[in-house]
Amino acid sequence: MKVSEKLHKDAKPVWDKICAHPFVVELFQGTLPIEKFKTYILHDYSYLLGAIRNFSIIASRADSADVVREVVEIAHLEATGEFQGYEEMLHTLGYTMDDAMRVEPFPTNLSYRSFLLTTSSLGTSQEALASVLPCFWSYLDIAVDHRDALSKNTNKIYVDWASVYLSGDYRQLVNKLRHLVDSTCEDFPYKRLRTLFLTASRYEYMYWDAAYKQESWPI
C-alpha cells in the first residue's frame, strides 16, 4: 500500500464525518442557506492566499529539482485558475475582491493556515506535503460521495461550485499531489506523516463547521 493510500485509510473516520457534515450535505442537495455559503466564500480569500504562500515555502525547501518544479506548478494553478474561479464566484454572489480582502478570518481559518505555514517553515518538505494533501483530496472525495445528490441539485450557484471538484483537471491535481507524497515520503517516518495528515483532516472538518456556524471572534 502506498503512503497516500495508508494515510487515507487511517483518516477515514474523520473524512466520513466531513462528508456527513451538514454544510457539505446541504450544499450538494441545494438546501444550504445562502448566507452560510457566502460566509465560506468570503473567508476563503485568506485561505487561498495562505495556500499560495505555503506552496512557495514548500518549493523552497524541496530536496530535488523535480519536486520544486511540480510544487511551483501547483502554486501557479492556485494563483491563476483557483483565484479566477474565486473572483467569478464572488461576482456571482454580488461581492468584489475588495470585499473579501476586508473580511477578518474567523479563528479556525487563522489557526488552520498557521498550522500549515508552521509545518512548511519548520518541518521538512515531506511533512509539508502530507499536511496539504487532505485539503485537496477531501474535496474530491466529498464531490464523488455526493455526486448523486448534485445531479438533482437545482441551485446553479452550488452546482457550478461543486462541479469543479468532479472535473478531470481537479482529479489530475489531486493525483499529482498524491504522487509527490508517495514518491518523497516512502522512507520517511510514517508516524509523523500520519499525525500531520490527521491534524489537517480535523482542521478540514472544523473549517466546514466554522462556516456553517458562521464562526466569529468572541471578543
In the chain, how many domains are there? 1
Looking at residue 147, its pLDDT comes to 97
Q: What is the mean pLDDT of residues 5-9?
A: 98
Instruction: Note whether residue 9 is domain-resident.
Output: yes
Nearest to 26 by CA among 170, 137, 162: 162
Radius of gyration of the chain, Cα coordinates, nearest whole angstrom: 17
Instruction: Note whether residue 12 is domain-resident.
Output: yes
Nearest to 159 by CA among 145, 144, 149: 149
Instruction: Note whether residue 92 is domain-resident.
Output: yes
Report yes or no: 18 and 208 within 8 Å, Cβ to Cβ.
yes
Looking at residue 175, its pLDDT comes to 94
Helix (H) or strand (E) holding 78: none
135-173 pLDDT per residue, tens? 999 999 999 999 999 999 999 999 999 999 999 999 999
**Mean of the per-residue pLDDT values for the chain?**
95
Query: pLDDT band at residue 63, thresholds of 50, 70 and 90?
Result: confident
Query: pLDDT band at residue 114, thresholds of 50, 70 and 90?
Result: very high
CA angle 25, 39, 28 (to 5 degrees): 20
Helix (H) or strand (E) holding 53: helix 34-61
Instruction: Note whether residue 120 is domain-resident.
Output: yes
Query: pLDDT band at residue 84, thresholds of 50, 70 and 90?
Result: confident
Instruction: Note whether residue 218 is domain-resident.
Output: no
> Model's pTM, two decimal places?
0.96
Looking at residue 83, its pLDDT comes to 82
Instruction: Give the CATH number for residue 65.
Output: 1.20.910.10
Taking the C-alpha atoms of residue 136 and residue 180, their distance in angstroms, rounded to an integer, is: 13
71-81 pLDDT per residue, tens? 998 888 877 87
User: What is the three-state SS of 157-204?
Assistant: HHHHHHHHHHCHHHHHHHHHHHHHHHHHCCCCCHHHHHHHHHHHHHHH
In percent, how much of the chain has pLDDT > 90? Answer: 91
Q: What is the mean pLDDT of residues 2-23?
A: 98
Q: What is the mean pLDDT of residues 92-112?
A: 96
Instruction: Note whether residue 23 is domain-resident.
Output: yes
Q: Is the pLDDT of residue 195 over 80?
A: yes
Domain that holds residue 187: 3-212
Instruction: Note whether residue 207 is domain-resident.
Output: yes
Looking at residue 80, its pLDDT comes to 82
